[in-house]
Homo-oligomer: A and B are copies of this chain.
């Protein structure tokens, strides 16, 4: 198979689309982040890359707390809006009509309309060049009751948004299930 070189780029997908929240100058603000990942399991931690000059980062650095909210498809416009505007200029909560609530932490604003909400405390901030890599410990997880099936979050009800950067920056739904993890690979184990 012929390979073509494409220089140095972070070509990886799909990425989860999140709305990261913080209180900045005592007001809740949210920004769209699609560079969010699990960073540790015991205890549960998350990492996010945020460009240094972002308004939300100011609040995260100031209070050392933040939230990660997972929007559903039906919030795709609001989600995109929070990525193309700055809280230094507009009140995103007002424009998007977000209902904000707080949990355990006093400075991690959570969006009621998002089916999943994580409250986080900052553990590390790594300065990597253009971005700060923020690592946070998850203090509590909130799930909208109508997104549960048998008491567990149901991805078909949560309807998370996948972000694709190349060739066109776009949001996609999830499609067909192609295999059970930790099971489908056993077929190869038998062939050994």
Determine if A176 is an interface residue (Cβ-Cβ < 8 Å). yes
Contacts of A192 in B (CB 8 A): 90, 95
B141:A5 contact, CB within 8 angstroms: yes
A136 → chain B, closest Cβ, in Å?
10
Query: Can you name 26 A-B pairs with beta carbons within 8 Å?
Result: A1-B113, A1-B146, A3-B112, A5-B140, A5-B142, A6-B143, A8-B43, A9-B44, A10-B39, A11-B141, A12-B37, A35-B38, A36-B37, A37-B47, A39-B133, A76-B179, A79-B185, A96-B188, A128-B135, A150-B167, A162-B174, A169-B182, A171-B178, A171-B184, A173-B175, A173-B178
Query: 7 closest A-B pairs (Cβ-Cβ)?
Result: A80-B185, A175-B175, A81-B185, A37-B37, A169-B181, A173-B175, A40-B128
Determine if A24 is an interface residue (Cβ-Cβ < 8 Å). no
A135 → chain B, closest Cβ, in Å?
7
Give the residue name and chain of the B residue nearest to A90 (CB). Answer: B192
The winner among A174, A186, A188 for most chain B CB atoms within 10 A is: A188
Determine if A28 is an interface residue (Cβ-Cβ < 8 Å). no
Instruction: Out of B38, B142, B171, B188, name the residue touching A181 (CB < 8 Å).
Output: B171
A117:B185 contact, CB within 8 angstroms: no
A35 → chain B, closest Cβ, in Å?
4
A111 → chain B, closest Cβ, in Å?
10
Determine if A122 is an interface residue (Cβ-Cβ < 8 Å). no
Instruction: Out of B3, B37, B79, B116, name the residue touching A143 (CB < 8 Å).
Output: B3
Determine if A172 is an interface residue (Cβ-Cβ < 8 Å). yes
Contacts of A128 in B (CB 8 A): 39-40, 45, 123, 135
The winner among A12, A42, A144 for most chain B CB atoms within 10 A is: A12
Instruction: Out of B41, B51, B145, name the residue touching A4 (CB < 8 Å).
Output: B145
